[in-house]
Chain A
């Protein structure tokens, strides 16, 4: 029953976090100087016309009323209408989700798999050439600013050697639906995804290598070696398995953070995605859009945290309640 109580507490505290984020979001954007109406600087737009616009945005109503409306909108997942586009915020987000999801999930999956593999190999070949290579490659991959690598890749592979497209996620005019469209889409995603992989695998490789090196020094590995088990078996079956829980946790915990990384990638490769949307709604003081995007991200983070916990127990049932209680 302790388990039940534990999950009860976890969920309660998650809800609390969400509530705090919800309230913060409302004020965060409104304490910023200026507002979306005064940001219009066009001498042909008179103060009277601006008042009409403020009324259209609902900015002329009292703060308390605005707040209640905001809370209601967030809780019902009907995020209202974006100031900038005058279209439902949910529509805006939905139209941008596919690109971002595909971009981030494939980049994440490939870079994690690659990084983990390289990390394990490096740890296995301690002191050798391979380890040095992986350590350096990992460090370099981590060290360059993302836009630098991405712009250079764009110039090299889309302009100097035009193998990949320069922009967007579809050719113009668009290919017929079905396979040609699918292949066209993949062709467009190769550069952005591979740039994110190049930028991302390094930290995985370094992290996994560290974990592996520690584990390979543990008694049970010595025992396995003493038993004469083959190297591969020891490496993947025994050692790697024991570091799987922290890896799975990290995968889940790093998910929300990569959305920030999408901002620059989507800018460089002209992709229609959530990252840009987030940036534009914040800088454009589009309160409903920014509020909704922040709220959804907080929701994602909280969900990922819970999933990480769940996965931890799932991957390694031995580590039960006591470890969890500690967190």
Chain B
């Protein structure tokens, strides 16, 4: 029970708890865009503007507000209006402390649907900007009083317009390229990474154990076949073959686990086999055999317990391999895009330019998450090894 004193065990327990219940603390779906893409965390961008929502209706044809922040990141105006007869003049006007501009001209149109967004190239052109210019400093040139209003020669029969200026900061870790909450994704990522790491290693170990035991104990043709299979699998390059299999079997969570485990049982099988070989020749096993014990009994009662502790350490040390392999596959874009794992998050951060744009809040959490998970398991594995192998515990020279 020395293990209880290790930090890694507690860290793992904490991780497992977060993975299990963490996602339930979020009200929204992780797929939902909660803020503009690539916004900074709240604690980092204290001066970033908050959200602003205004509506224009028949009763309120003008809205005024005070803006005391830097320009926001997004600006959108949506809605519709209708006149009884096409008006001579009808303009939606945006008044800033530095002047006014026409956002939309509905003159001589009985009905208009308005769908403006500052990201549209047509909107930028209409404001007299180049397609590459950021229109926000143009729309919010200074702090002070702003107004949005309809200027028309006659009152509209119906009007409903909504101005949306979403805030430029979000949550603990900001947002990703789709405006999703990175913290939420990060918490979800623990789940997949843990699940993939643990189950792939468990399955691989079970396979290795089964093949190793039977190969070592039965020998002969079984041994030859299994060992040649091991040789074959060891001599095909792992990453490309995983790509082939992913193409063949699909890329879901379980397929991924299967693929990862199918290529990591070989060394366990070899170790278990050589262990079995030496045990088989041990006097007590020979004695049992002489007494007529069936091989299943000998395998189950004596060989398995001998091999198990070794396997436990093997599992702990194998998880980092599986977690990293998953990250590698995801990096190359070979995982299911719906599966939020830390590897996937890194892939998306990379694919959408977070590395070059310096959006570190997208990169560091999953990167350190993967590394942390691996460290936890490495530490656990090392201590299991020390417990099992007293020689590793001995003091220095």
Verify A282–B332 contact, CB threshold 8 A. Answer: no
- From 365 to 397 in chain B, residues with beta carbon under 8 angstroms from any chain A beta carbon are 367, 370-375, 378-379, 382, 385, 389, 391-392, 394-397
Verify B236–A297 contact, CB threshold 8 A. Answer: yes
Residue of B nearest to A231 (CB): B397
Verify A264–B396 contact, CB threshold 8 A. Answer: no
A contact residues around B37 at 8 Å (CB):
none
A contact residues around B247 at 8 Å (CB):
32-33
Chain B: minimal CB distance from A233 (Å): 12
Please tell me which stretch of A70-78, A208-216, A311-319 contacts chain B, meaning at least 4 of its Cβ atoms lie within 8 angstroms of it. A208-216
Q: A24: which of B232, B350, B372, B382 is its contact (CB, 8 Å)? A: B232
Chain B: minimal CB distance from A118 (Å): 16
Verify B240–A278 contact, CB threshold 8 A. Answer: yes
Chain B: minimal CB distance from A36 (Å): 14
A contact residues around B228 at 8 Å (CB):
13, 16-17, 20
A147 located at the interface, meaning its Cβ lies under 8 Å from any Cβ of chain B in the complex: yes
- From 197 to 248 in chain A, residues with beta carbon under 8 angstroms from any chain B beta carbon are 206, 210, 213-214, 216-217, 221, 225, 231, 234
Verify B235–A148 contact, CB threshold 8 A. Answer: no
Contact status of A31 and B248, CB under 8 A, knowing A16-B228, A142-B378, A143-B375: yes
Q: How far apart are the CA atoms of A210 and B328 in the complex, in Å?
A: 27
Interface hub of B372, B373, B375 (most chain A Cβ within 10 A): B375
Chain B: minimal CB distance from A284 (Å): 11
Contact status of A142 and B320, CB under 8 A, knowing A127-B395, A155-B355, A326-B277: yes
B contact residues around A231 at 8 Å (CB):
397
Q: How far apart are the CA atoms of A282 and B334 in the complex, in Å?
A: 13
Chain A: minimal CB distance from B226 (Å): 12
B contact residues around A33 at 8 Å (CB):
247-248
A contact residues around B285 at 8 Å (CB):
none
A contact residues around B231 at 8 Å (CB):
13-14, 17, 302, 305
B274 located at the interface, meaning its Cβ lies under 8 Å from any Cβ of chain A in the complex: yes
Verify A278–B237 contact, CB threshold 8 A. Answer: yes
Q: How far apart are the CA atoms of A221 and B378 in the complex, in Å?
A: 28
Verify A279–B240 contact, CB threshold 8 A. Answer: yes
B contact residues around A187 at 8 Å (CB):
none
Verify A214–B391 contact, CB threshold 8 A. Answer: yes
Q: How far apart are the CA atoms of A149 and B233 in the complex, in Å?
A: 29
Q: How far apart are the CA atoms of A256 and B332 in the complex, in Å?
A: 20
Q: How far apart are the CA atoms of A147 and B274 in the complex, in Å?
A: 36
Q: How far apart are the CA atoms of A33 and B244 in the complex, in Å?
A: 10
A contact residues around B277 at 8 Å (CB):
326
B331 located at the interface, meaning its Cβ lies under 8 Å from any Cβ of chain A in the complex: yes
B contact residues around A191 at 8 Å (CB):
none
B143 located at the interface, meaning its Cβ lies under 8 Å from any Cβ of chain A in the complex: no
B308 located at the interface, meaning its Cβ lies under 8 Å from any Cβ of chain A in the complex: no
A140 located at the interface, meaning its Cβ lies under 8 Å from any Cβ of chain B in the complex: yes
Verify B328–A32 contact, CB threshold 8 A. Answer: no
Verify A256–B274 contact, CB threshold 8 A. Answer: no
Chain A: minimal CB distance from B217 (Å): 14
Q: A148: which of B240, B367, B379 is its contact (CB, 8 Å)? A: B367
Verify B237–A210 contact, CB threshold 8 A. Answer: no
Verify B375–A139 contact, CB threshold 8 A. Answer: yes
B contact residues around A326 at 8 Å (CB):
274, 277
B contact residues around A283 at 8 Å (CB):
243
Contact status of A140 and B375, CB under 8 A, knowing A217-B391, A231-B397, A326-B274: yes
- From 133 to 165 in chain A, residues with beta carbon under 8 angstroms from any chain B beta carbon are 135, 139-140, 142-148, 151-152, 155
* A residues in contact (CB < 8 Å) with B: 13-14, 16-17, 20-21, 24, 28-29, 31-33, 124-128, 131, 135, 139-140, 142-148, 151-152, 155, 206, 210, 213-214, 216-217, 221, 225, 231, 234, 256-257, 259-260, 263-264, 267, 278-279, 282-283, 290, 293-294, 297-298, 301-302, 305, 326-327
* B residues in contact (CB < 8 Å) with A: 224, 228, 231-232, 234-241, 243-244, 247-248, 274, 277, 320, 324, 327-328, 331-332, 343, 346, 350, 355-356, 363, 367, 370-375, 378-379, 382, 385, 389, 391-392, 394-397
25 sampled A-B residue pairs with Cβ under 8 A:
A17-B231, A24-B232, A32-B248, A125-B396, A126-B394, A126-B395, A143-B324, A145-B327, A145-B367, A147-B350, A206-B382, A213-B391, A213-B392, A214-B392, A216-B394, A221-B397, A256-B235, A259-B237, A260-B237, A279-B332, A282-B240, A282-B243, A293-B237, A294-B237, A298-B235
Q: Sort A-B residue pairs by CB-CB distance and give the 9 closest, nearest first.
A: A126-B396, A143-B374, A301-B235, A260-B239, A298-B235, A143-B371, A145-B327, A17-B231, A148-B367
